[in-house]
Structure 1
Amino acid sequence: MSGKQELSGGSEPEPKRFCERSGCHGGGEPAEGDSDTVSVIMPVFNASDWLDECLQAILEQDFQGRMELCVFDDGSTDGSRELVERWRPKFEDRGISVLISGHKSSSPRGVGYAKNQAVSQSSGRFLCFQDADDVMKPQRVRLQQEAAAANPTAIVGCKVCRVPEGSTERYTRWINSLSAEQLLTQVYTSHGPTVIMPSWFCSRSWFEKVGQFHEGGKGVPEDLLFFYQSLRLGGLVLRVDECLLVYRYHEHAATHSVLEQTIWDLRVDFLQERVLSQWDSFTIWNAGKQGRKLYRSLRPDNQSKVKAFCDVDENKIKKGFYTYEESKERPKPKIPVLHFRNASPPFIVCVKLDMTDGVLEGNLHSLQLTEGVHYYHFN
């Protein structure tokens, strides 16, 4: 079964919802809001351990325009909804309206559903997505609103500060070090969106054009699906180059529920759609496990475009070729294995970045290649 089939939405009936604020829309068309209003979109599920810090940070934003906080509680059992409710007077004293809705079903509907419901009750021109376990810096809304106002078809992210310090060090370094060009060229890696979902900020008009988040529930990478659709429609990807978000790592994060194979299938499909469809032939950089897995995952028409594997491992190179044993073709396809200096671009690089003490990056640089033209990373 393909990744797309696995991610099809279910037909489970809607849980009973509640909405606490006069004039709350509860899933209908958003009311007309002030053109400068920023809606902070926050799905909540059993987040009571972090909510006080998260809400205090929203309250301390230095943005001078209008704001509203839109919360959807996805069936919390730890008092999260009541905790948010206790913060309502503080927000209203600052002129920030609070919209709280949710359901009391024992079955959470998932992050995609919760985000969509929070958006549906909002009215701002701009949407600032905030996870309940993260903390925004005081200038976040102001700086991202400025960027989104100037680029209404963009998903705007930011640099992040990871806590606990040192957790997911390689991933955090990748998030914060991508160049403006790499925000578009490195969208096929296993890291996922090149600006992380908890830092997203966009115009309502662009969100509505891309469409809602996938509501398949636990295990569905709703952020990656939305991100890829935005790119298909010609959307921009921008990053404010300041740390505007304290990004918390913990074992209960929703990202841990997404299967690696699900992400792999989506990445392969998008690579074939966006890159391989434009190439007549290419070389897979890595004759090892990951390179061979990519080859086997390709459609037959793209497998036929693979003219070689390349590597630095002399043992792999000495074998001379890779035989696709699972093929039904006779004779079975045999793909040459070359030293990278004897191989020809374009390349799909299946070696993880920042894992070889700079050897991979140095080898690519030595060939004087341009990322996004002569090679793409798929790792």
Structure 2
Amino acid sequence: IVGCQVRREPLDSTERYTRWINNLTEEQLLTQVFTSHGPTVIMPTWFCSREWFFHVGKFDEGGKGVPEDLLFFYKHIQKGGEVFRVNHCLLLYRYHPQAATHSVLEGTIWNHRVWFLEDRVLSSWTTFTIWNAGKQGKKLYRSLSPANQKKVTAFCDVDEKKITKGFYTYEESEERPKPKIPVCHFRDATPPFIICVKL
């Protein structure tokens, strides 16, 4: 997929998002696919061959609430596709409150992101540490498949209060005893890490 930089109309709409998509480095076009922002080049700018489009498998036209661009983008990457961006603004990208993108629930996108992370990264790891013993880290842990939850060796953080508590108990678990995951200072943690921060 080849995309480009964009200019928003009105100019002050989605400033942070627009800055993100316009300033990612070439390497970040692939490493940032796990963030909450979605595809690292936005769908209205995409170019790819018709042959590749059919190889990836068209868009999911499931209707309102389906993040069809994100799903296609993930399938593209899974099939070995690359991501490039022309570093010129070639599109005026209008913002309006009735846009279809607003019908996609945050939870839907979260579930797809977690599935993609599990498929692309965690499937090849035997253990890992979640960097964030707060809300985002715990949310990720609870969203993982049981097999990937068992790979979490610890949460790490800088917050002394969380570290002093010493562990996180997964109260919603069906398991008995309930899983208790250690919480340690990041200096004492063992890589690899999944870093969970709300930007």
> Same fold per TM (> 0.5)?
yes
SS at match of 1:187: helix
Paired residue total = 199
Residues 166 and 314 (structure 1), Cα distance of their counterparts in 2 relative to 1, 3 Å cut? farther
Q: CA deviation at 1:328?
A: 2.0
Structure 1, unmatched stretches of 5+, are: 1-154, 354-379
Query: Would you say 1:247 and 2:90 are equivalent positions?
Result: no
| Identity of matched residues, % | 76
Q: CA deviation at 1:178?
A: 1.2
Deviations 1:9-63 (A, max 9, x none): xxxxxxxxxxxxxxxxxxxxxxxxxxxxxxxxxxxxxxxxxxxxxxxxxxxxxxx
Query: Would you say 1:198 and 2:44 are equivalent positions?
Result: yes
Q: What's the counterpart of residue 327 of structure 1?
A: 173
Query: Which of 311-320 and 264-273 deviates more?
Result: 311-320
Q: What's the counterpart of residue 301 of structure 1?
A: 147
Separation of aligned partners in 1, 2:132 and 2:26: 26
Separation of aligned partners in 1, 2:126 and 2:106: 29
Instruction: Say if 2:153 and 2:181, in contact at 8 Å, map to a contact too.
Output: yes
Instruction: Say if 2:61 and 2:68, in contact at 8 Å, map to a contact too.
Output: yes
Q: What's the counterpart of residue 194 of structure 2?
A: 348
Match of residue 3, structure 2, among 154, 157, 168: 157
Separation of aligned partners in 1, 2:87 and 2:63: 32
Separation of aligned partners in 1, 2:163 and 2:96: 42
Match of residue 290, structure 1, among 121, 136, 157: 136
- RMSD between aligned alpha carbons? 1.1
Q: What's the counterpart of residue 278 of structure 1?
A: 124
Separation of aligned partners in 2, 1:336 and 1:286: 12
Separation of aligned partners in 1, 2:162 and 2:150: 21
Structure 2, unmatched stretches of 5+, are: none
Q: What's the counterpart of residue 79 of structure 2?
A: 233
Q: What's the counterpart of residue 217 of structure 1?
A: 63
Work out which structure has the larger RCO, using CA pairs closer than 8 Å and 6 or more positions apart in sequence.
Answer: 2
Separation of aligned partners in 1, 2:125 and 2:178: 23
The structure with the largest alpha-carbon Rg is 1
Q: CA deviation at 1:163?
A: 2.0
Q: CA deviation at 1:179?
A: 1.2
Separation of aligned partners in 2, 1:300 and 1:351: 22
SS at match of 1:170: helix
Counterpart code for 1:346: P
Moved over 2 A (4+): none
Q: What's the counterpart of residue 113 of structure 2?
A: 267
Match of residue 256, structure 1, among 102, 105, 109: 102
Separation of aligned partners in 1, 2:187 and 2:95: 40
| More helix per residue | 2
TM-score for both structures, normalised by structure 2: 0.96
Separation of aligned partners in 2, 1:218 and 1:184: 27
Separation of aligned partners in 1, 2:32 and 2:191: 17
SS at match of 2:72: helix
Counterpart code for 1:180: E
Separation of aligned partners in 1, 2:105 and 2:94: 21
Q: What's the counterpart of residue 150 of structure 1?
A: none
SS at match of 1:176: helix
Q: CA deviation at 1:330?
A: 2.0
Deviations 1:159-204 (A, max 9, x none): 1112222221211111112111111111111111111111111111
Deviations 1:118-139 (A, max 9, x none): xxxxxxxxxxxxxxxxxxxxxx
TM-score for both structures, normalised by structure 1: 0.51
Instruction: Say if 2:136 and 2:198, in contact at 8 Å, map to a contact too.
Output: no
Q: CA deviation at 1:231?
A: 0.9
